[in-house]
Amino acid sequence: MALHPVIDRVTDRIRERSHPRRTGYLSKIARAGEDGPRRAHLSCGNQAHAYAAMEDKADLAMTARPNLGIVTAYNDMLSAHQPYERFPDLIRRAAHAAGATAQVAGGVPAMCDGVTQGRAGMELSLFSRDVIALAAGVAMSHDVFDAAVCLGICDKIVPGLVIAAATFGHVPAVFLPAGPMPSGLPNDEKAKVRQDFAAGKIGRDKLMAAEMASYHAPGTCTFYGTANTNQMLMEFMGLQLPGSSFVNPNTPLREALTVAGVARAAQITRLGNDYTPVSAILDERAFVNGLVGLMATGGSTNLVIHLPAMARAAGIDLDLQDFHDISQAVPLMARVYPNGLADVNHFHAAGGLGFLIGQLLEAGLLHPDVRTVAGEGLDRYTAEPRLAEGALTWVEGPGESLNDRILRPAADPFAATGGLHMLAGNLGRAVIKASAVKPELHVIEARARVFHDQNAVKAAFQAGEFTDDTIVVVRFQGPRANGMPELHSLTPILSVLLDRGVRVALVTDGRMSGASGKVPAAIHVSPEAATGGPLARLRDGDLVRLDAVKGSLDCLEPDFAAREPVTADLSGNAEGLGRELFAAFRAHAAPVDQGAGIVV
């Protein structure tokens, strides 16, 4: 199948736009790799320090075996990352079996947005991505590793690890997931309990019971939020083994995939015949494939921030227009909560990423001619991993959906266009996750209520102040203002208003969780209010129109453009719970449509 003209055109546009940056990046990577394996140039003393604690130090000192650096985001506070506790020993054994060695190169932080929602810690969340990239860079700076094995899953962790992997682009890297927890309380039932609690219909005891029945075991949360969108991207972009994203933790198949990932990392180093550095994988085609996957699955809006940052680390410039144009060409093929009732386990059982990638390749919506950690060509990712008599093999993936309420072919999708839309108007540029919103709510025109704090929105709700159709504006929530926290804790109360018949939408320069659902939300508004962006000129009572059909976001007041922007007292965002440590991040963060980064 010939490449779809929109995919071809957007790829060419990205390639042309990125040419100066990408050329400089590839030149830098070539210089870093021109003297061969870096470990060979360490002095005997340097090497002795690195190998001193290893049982197999003689293998490293006297042979040409590849040495794998494990960069781990393990902690046992995140359910998704708790399985990583036992991975280093497994990786070391697998490396030995593959004729290699492995060491833990370093750890990176991994915070849980589910824990910090609505709390001050959420103001550090987005910036933790750059901390992860820095920490992974420190881990890889020792020059003793022939490939990286990256252990990360959740929201900022995978993007931070990718930024570091691209920066060390002369070194191969394989990402090893740990998989989603088994299905628990259905996500729609959990959401209903949250709304009932917000409306005062039930007590905290029933809310706590529902939450613990939903988040109940090791593994990734089962809704299709940022963590699981990350896993999808790592397959679409060729940094994970085919079919490895959504296999449950602590199962024989999961262990076999981990072993296979380690063996593959050993095979693709410069010491072998299949050298595959990260710089050869992460080109403009890989990022376009990632954008296609994001749209086809209705993935998390957080990736609209992370993908430009990851791309910049690889010398590639993405723009919101690229997201928008690809969304218009790519059909929505999956319904996974919050876009539907299914969770990722149901999605995987229905045919999962293998079916999806196969359909998109047949429709000409993906670049097939890419390099991946599994080898040449994205068609490898249509296969499905299986255990046959204890041995891992890949078999032909499903040719049809096994549940068309969850997964549909490209020719008969849930919607003709993708899950994310760009909005642009006199309020700036924003994104909306339209796939989760009922069509009748794709256009909202109403008077604005303007807030500078999400707690003030909750107080107004509790006081019964939302009785008419309303555009709730929460501004001064961008990276320069307070680190751009997710405002997911507003979802239950705004959902209650929708259920009461009030047409309500959210407009903010902050973020919403990848799990946010049915409330129409124009998020990531840029330029942000703290830098004098248009949101700073809004007033209570202004007529605002959010139109996800036409892709517009406007204040309809005739004097709007002539107003002076208001300022806000942001001093309260500067201290407490570690905010002080991130002052330089707030002061120097890039605009959100460029990734809101510090290090790229």
Residue 538 burial by CB count (10 A; 0-12/13-18/19+): exposed, middle or buried?
Answer: buried
Which tokens go with 70? 């494990």
Q: Which of 562, 538, 545 is nearest to 449 (CA)?
A: 538
Residues pairing with 498 in the sheet = none
Neighbours of 43 (CB within 10 A): 8
- The one-letter code for the residue type at 533 is G
Would you say 154 is a known binding-site residue? yes
Q: Which of 182, 351, 158 is nearest to 251 (CA)?
A: 182
Say how far apart CA 280 and CA 417 lie, in whole Å: 30
Contact status, residue 92 vs residue 265, Cβ threshold 8 Å? no
Say how far apart CA 85 and CA 408 lie, in whole Å: 37
Contact status, residue 231 vs residue 301, Cβ threshold 8 Å? no
Which tokens go with 287? 């990022």
Q: Which of 180, 198, 162, 160 is nearest to 248 (CA)?
A: 180
Element (H, E) at 175: strand 173-175
The torsion angles phi and psi of 297, rounded to 5 degrees, stand at -100, -5
DSSP string for 378-393: GGGGGEEEEEETTEEE
Residues pairing with 558 in the sheet = none
The torsion angles phi and psi of 421, rounded to 5 degrees, stand at -125, 145
Residue 588 burial by CB count (10 A; 0-12/13-18/19+): exposed, middle or buried?
Answer: exposed
Which residues are within 8 A (CB) of 385 and not within 5 positions of it... i.e. 6 or more apart? 241, 242, 243, 244, 247, 253, 256, 257, 392, 393, 394
Residues pairing with 511 in the sheet = 486
Would you say 112 is a known binding-site residue? no
Neighbours of 5 (CB within 10 A): 10
Q: Which of 340, 362, 281 is nearest to 515 (CA)?
A: 340
Say how far apart CA 450 and CA 546 lie, in whole Å: 15
Residues pairing with 386 in the sheet = 393
> Is the omega angle on the peptide bond into residue 385 within 30 degrees of 0, that is, cis?
no
Residues pairing with 375 in the sheet = 372
How would you classify the pairing of strands 470-474 and 443-451? parallel
**Hey, which bits of 439-520 come out as E strands?**
443-451, 470-474, 504-508
Q: Which of 174, 179, 419 is nearest to 291 (CA)?
A: 419
Which tokens go with 597? 């980064």
Q: CA dist 599 to 131, 166, 415, 442, Å? A: 9, 12, 37, 36
Q: Which of 303, 372, 283 is nearest to 26 (CA)?
A: 283
Residues contributing to the annotated binding site for [4Fe-4S] cluster? 154, 221
Residues annotated within a binding site: 154, 221
